[in-house]
Chain A
Amino acid sequence: MVVTAFDMLLCLTLVWLAWHVLASRDLFRAVVLFISFGMLMALGWVRLRAPDLALAEAAIGSGLTGALFLSALRKLAGTTKEKRRLDRDEER
């Protein structure tokens, strides 16, 4: 019962996090949420009895991809999606 409740909570949190990663205007916030998504996803893989995937998700999906995103973010000038979208529209 407790385990089922935990699984439900995990699933809901994952969907909630995924939604906020996509909808967040602040890219830094989106990246941080993405990293937390990866961590919880790893937990999900453990619950699905796939420890190999959990390890890969935590190390590559969350850790390294997160670090890559953060370093890419530093190289981008604007940190909001709206601003960069506006810049791109102006270029057209």
Chain B
Amino acid sequence: MLKILKYSFYDLMRSRWSYVYFAFYLLLGVVLLFLNNDLSKAVITLMNVIIVLVPLIGTIFGVMYYYNSKEFTELLLAQPLKRSSIFLGQYLGVAISLSMSLILGLGIPFIFYGLFKSSAIWDFSLLLITGTFLTFIFTALAFNIALSNENKIKGFGYAILLWLFLAIIYDGVFLMSLIMFEDYPLDKLSLIGTMLNPIDLSRTLILLKLDISALLGYTGAIFKQFFGTNFGLIVSISMLSVWVVMPVLRIIFKAKKKDF
């Protein structure tokens, strides 16, 4: 698996898109710091960008990489290699190179700005950790979609729909249901609802760490009680891990049964 990972990773490192992605974050980091002049505020703005953009890029890149490397995959399948190691190697290659673009692209400007001397370092680290989680989650979901759809156009369509659903539609539905059932106690329900969507989960996790939960009113207080504690943090991180593990298991399962 490590050899496949190595080749996928090098292949991506040589591709233009990794650099574009890296340069984008670099630019974003520099511009935000320059305009904001305040690390914590820059972290909040960054969060809003990352929470939406990272899943999108992860999904698109994952689907694109799978379809583009079909020939390579077929070549590998005839070699004495396990199917699971071929697909896991490719998946990790994509996810790791995307995460590296994210971490380096954002990390470099923040370090130069004096991140290590600032109190925002934990918030920033949490931001990068959730960003990495989101990359791994959405790349895995993208691989699942691509493995299940031979047709490229369909695969891309489903991938975009998935992103749209989790990034935007889910929130809308969630909010509507909260308004409709506002007469009932909803704290537990909204906590569970948040847990079930990795994007919401990441957003809440960061927001509450940033100590702006006062803006969220009563629900914010409940959320704060849960997510703000170490217990909440551990539960959230394990929930994000579950979101990585489940699709990865399905990749292995699907890959074993597929005809090439």
A binds B: no
Residue ranges of B at the interface with A (Cβ–Cβ < 8 Å)? none
Residue ranges of A at the interface with B (Cβ–Cβ < 8 Å)? none
